[in-house]
Amino acid sequence: MERIYVFDTTLRDGEQVPGCQLNTIEKIQIAQALELLGVDVIEAGFPVSSPGDFNSVVEISKAVTWPTICALTRAVEKDIEVAAEALKYAKRKRIHTGIGTSDSHIKHKFNSNREEILERAVKAVKYARNFVDDVEFYAEDAGRTDNEYLAKVVQAVVNAGATVINIPDTTGYCFPDEYGAKIKYLIDNVDLKNAILSTHCHQDLGMATANTLSGVINGARQVEVTINGIGERAGNTSLEEVVMALRSHKDRGFDTNINSQHIYSTSRLVSSLMNMPVQPNKAIVGRNAFAHSSGIHQDGVLKNVETYEIINPKDVGIDDNAIVLTARSGRAALKNRLSVLGVKLESAELDKVYEKFLNLADRKKSINDDDILMLVGKEARLNRIKVDYLQVVCGIGVRDVASIGLNIAGEHFEATASGNGPVDAAIRAVKSIIRREMKIQEFLIQAIDRGSDDIGKVHMQVEHNDIVYYGFAANTDIVAASVEAFIDAVNKFVE
């Protein structure tokens, strides 16, 4: 089997999704999960972009042992210097530098010409080689770059010392045959020496996985992916889809170093920490990925599972015989399930989560993985403003009124307000205490599973001083979840 290297950019390209930003501790947690998963390269961030990103690359470099740690830069000397400094603790380090190569980028983004872009590309690679031996070059918008000029750029940066050449379909524009032909053209027309080609495909037209696989078939030996396919706009290529597609088609002769049994736990961890639910019909890791509702399908699966399942759920870490958690479950059962989901808690933290677990289990008939991860995430948040109590009166023919008590940095405040429904009344009461100009831009309610006793997730965008802040909460009481999501956003801008 020919080895395909997995370059994970969940912590860089994936984290660029609005509302999904992580702190350094959360990034380290995901990086360690990616190491356990078996990814070859972790793109840890864009160090020059912010002190937080710089610090995250430093700390991830310390926390992770064997994967290569990669830092993104532009073709700018200062970027490269800062990236090199951020990578100083990495056991294996890579600088990922590059520049746009399509005529659209050259003209409109850089107001430049092809010759100057080529010179800047070569200069950036040569400068990066002063700091590290492993330099990856990205030709941004390669999907819309004509092949002849692209080959010229690739040859020049390989000659300058690039070890990996990233061919991004930045806008998700290419068809699979077109992208595959582009990779083959480079294989046939460039002396790559010891360098390899890498795919980096986006999902704008829904073809990221197909384009990535086409790239592999035509000669690319590294794939750039994210967990759950998260990323800017419509997202990036999904790690789990590419890995399991290659594994399901072993006759093609390709495989990765990924330990697929950790796919599901890593998926849930990323979903929880980034507050980004996985759609139920998502391939490999969605709630319905191995569900069968059709009578004909159920009959076939009962007779032979391979009639409708090409992947064994256990191969991706989904145990169809998992322990069912209820109010009678003990700490050991909860700790075991958290371990399966990739979450490790100290004894004191486990006690707090277990207490919340029992309270939730008393209200729900069954506890699922999303419920557990929600409890962990909720316990982890340290907010300046907290809800002491919330009482709502609502119904048909009565006035909707909410009374709320808030703890703000140790001081207690109370307010009552009426509104157009219980959620509006409760949020008006919060606003009367906080007294800031704020406007809700987006308000999304989503059930984790189904049923009237289920937990509801609320995602909210709140504008304050022309800046949008993102709030998230989950609760079996949707009014409480809405208030908690609003306060979660307020906590991010309150002084």
If we measure between CA atoms, which residue out of 227, 262, 221 comes closest to residue 241? 227
- The response to whether 236 counts as a known ligand-binding position is yes
Residue 196, strand partner residues: 164
Q: Which of 361, 381, 401 is the last residue of a domain?
A: 381
Q: Which of 243, 273, 303 is the last residue of a domain?
A: 273
Q: Specify the number of domains making up the chain.
A: 3
Residue 329 in any domain: the answer is yes
Pinpoint the alpha helices (H) of 16-146: 24-37, 51-63, 77-86, 103-104, 114-128
Task: Let me know whether 182 and 307 are in one domain.
Answer: no
Q: Which of 227, 242, 273 is the last residue of a domain?
A: 273
pLDDT of residue 294: 39
Residue 337 in any domain: the answer is yes
pLDDT of residue 298: 38
| CB atoms closer than 10 angstroms to residue 217 | 15
Task: Let me know whether 464 and 319 are in one domain.
Answer: no
- The response to whether 200 counts as a known ligand-binding position is yes
- The response to whether 292 counts as a known ligand-binding position is no
Residue 281 in any domain: the answer is no
Q: What is the pTM of this model?
A: 0.74
CATH code for the domain of 75: 3.20.20.70
Distances 4 to 169, 172, 219, 289 between C-alpha atoms, Å = 19, 22, 10, 25
Residue 284 in any domain: the answer is no
pLDDT of residue 156: 98
Distance separating alpha carbons of residues 212 and 195, to the nearest angstrom = 18
Task: Let me know whether 439 and 350 are in one domain.
Answer: no
Domain span at residue 232 reads 2-273
pLDDT of residue 133: 97
Task: Let me know whether 64 and 207 are in one domain.
Answer: yes
pLDDT of residue 277: 84
Distances 146 to 23, 128, 179 between C-alpha atoms, Å = 40, 26, 12
Q: What is the mean pLDDT of each run of 10 residues along the chain (495 residues)?
A: 96 86 90 97 96 94 96 98 98 98 95 97 98 98 97 98 98 97 98 97 97 98 97 95 96 96 92 85 82 43 52 78 63 78 80 85 70 65 78 88 90 92 92 88 70 71 84 83 89 70
Task: Let me know whether 47 and 123 are in one domain.
Answer: yes
Task: Let me know whether 331 and 256 are in one domain.
Answer: no
User: Phi and psi (nearest 5°) for 207?
Assistant: -120, 15
CATH code for the domain of 299: 1.10.238
Task: Let me know whether 95 and 68 are in one domain.
Answer: yes
